[in-house]
Amino acid sequence: MNPQIKLLKKLMVLATVVFLGVGLTTANATEPCDDFGECKVLIEINATDGDIGFHFLMDGDDLLYGALYNPSHRKIFSYFVRRELREQTLTETFAESAEPLCFDPLLDDDEENDDEDFETLTDFLDRWSDGTYHFFGISEGWELSHGETDLSFNLPAAPAEVDFDGSVISWEAGDDLGECSEGMDLLVTPPEDVEVAAWEVVLEPDVDDGDPTGALVYSVRVAADIYPMEISVPLEYLDSLPDDTPMKVEVGAIGVDDNATFSEEDGFCVNEMDGCEEDE
């Protein structure tokens, strides 16, 4: 076996020892995530389409190996770079879980999704654990890094009354999780009482996959205390779109714990000449 591979495997074992609290000293901790530039775990909900997922991010320097452990000290993700990527190394790793429906489509007469799997908020909360998640990384210099961050079940309410008048996107604070509301009674803090840190607003062409217009997306985050809850879309962006471009709007409530709940509205049309297909 390659000596470097053997050394890496030993360091992977040492990472587990550190996590179990045996006292091995790691590199000096730096903010905002100990030895990592950034790390986070979060829950993201699409309250309109009705899906829920687990996301995580780890950002380090020259990484050869990375791992994520849950609050029960069990590894739930790891990677080890090889060949060209071993020479290039990694920095940021971001991943999203699958996002199944959070409602039973058969009960909602949702014929489009009637054969899809679903996992209610209750199921999701039963599967995942809130608490401290630990990240480990091993760099090109064989230095061991550690960072930790908390996952909470504080889920911000879905934005309500999302609208776009052709130049201004507006919304209101909501009080539930939309299609993912089943199981809200299990949450310690009701969604309407969860503090919002920012609003994320996205305006994008609602076109078929493969249409290059779909890449022309306007996205911005604004402070939670913005009033009124609206933003003006730059005219330069709107003018860059083709005539009769169908659009959809997405507004997300980003909680102070990084959890996010999004609402969507479609059926909008910009630079209208002959009318967008959705309007016909």
pLDDT tens across 221-267, in order?
A: 999 999 999 999 999 999 999 999 999 999 999 999 999 999 999 99
The answer to whether 43 and 194 are in contact (CB under 8 A) is no
The answer to whether 278 and 263 are in contact (CB under 8 A) is no
User: Could you tell me where the DSSP H helices lie in 70-159?
Assistant: 83-88, 121-127
Chain centroid to Cα 40, Å, comes to 10
Virtual torsion, Cα 142, 56, 202, 249, nearest 10 deg? 160
Q: How confident is the model at residue 191 (pLDDT cuts 50, 70, 90)?
A: very high
Residue 220: which of 203, 208, 207 has the closest Cα? Answer: 203
Q: Is the peptide bond before 3 cis (omega within 30 degrees of 0)?
A: no
User: Rounded to whole angstroms, how far apart are CA atoms 239 and 4?
Assistant: 55
Q: How confident is the model at residue 104 (pLDDT cuts 50, 70, 90)?
A: confident
Per-residue pLDDT, 24? 37
Whether the pLDDT of residue 216 is over 80: the answer is yes
**What are phi and psi for residue 142, nearest 5 degrees?**
65, 30
Chain centroid to Cα 37, Å, comes to 18
Contacts of 113 (CB under 8 A, 6+ apart): 101, 105
pTM score of the predicted model: 0.87
The answer to whether 158 and 177 are in contact (CB under 8 A) is yes
Domains of the chain (ranges, CATH numbers): 3-151 (2.60.40), 160-279 (2.60.40)
The two structure tokens encoding residue 92: 């940021």
- Model confidence over 3-59: pLDDT tens digits? 555 555 555 555 554 544 433 333 333 347 989 999 999 999 999 999 999 999 999
Burial of 23: CB neighbours in 10 Å, binned 0-12, 13-18, 19+: exposed
More confident residue, 109 or 262: 262
The answer to whether 57 and 38 are in contact (CB under 8 A) is yes
Share of the chain above pLDDT 70, in %: 84
Burial of 115: CB neighbours in 10 Å, binned 0-12, 13-18, 19+: exposed
- Report which residue type is found at 28: N
